Structure 1
Amino acid sequence: MRAPVRSLPAGLDQSFTIAVIEYPAILATLHLVDASAFTVQSVECALLPRIAAEAGASRSFSDFSPGAEAMEPSRLLPASA
């Protein structure tokens, strides 16, 4: 009993289609083309202008009314024994 023989492509177009789908060197080259395109896009993005923003806020309160004691840290702590 013979092993089944793989049939030849019907024409040149079908040969190219099979080669692109199955031949490892062609597949590897297609992946390299995709990777190179990604690298080009990454480098182009680095050349684009950038915008940066920063914000801050603070709030403080001081009681300077007559008769108010100064808020010193030593007066806020309990006396040690």
Structure 2
Amino acid sequence: MHHLGDDELLASLREAWPTALLVVRYGRDRDGIAADIDKGLADIAPLGRFALANPDIVERLRADAPLNELDPATLYSGGASGYTDYPTLSGA
């Protein structure tokens, strides 16, 4: 479900939804990742661009470490440029 910001509507959907609810909020920042779960509005918070740019996303979130920014030019485009290995906290 793509949600644009009406938390009251989302709360009523959450109440009526029979299974796990995943809410996608495009453009959210790091602090917003778990906000819908914390508020009881969703069961799953997709990590999207955060996970693509941070192969160690779990460790970074646990350590409250800075996140790498996603460079769209590193995404697979079918040409010579494609996935780029982003730095990890351990430097590996």
TM-score, normalised by the number of residues in structure 2:
0.21
TM-score, normalised by the number of residues in structure 1:
0.23
Q: Counting helix residues as a fraction of each chain, which structure ranks higher?
A: 1
Structure with higher RCO (Cα < 8 A, 6+ apart):
2
Structure number with greater Rg is 1
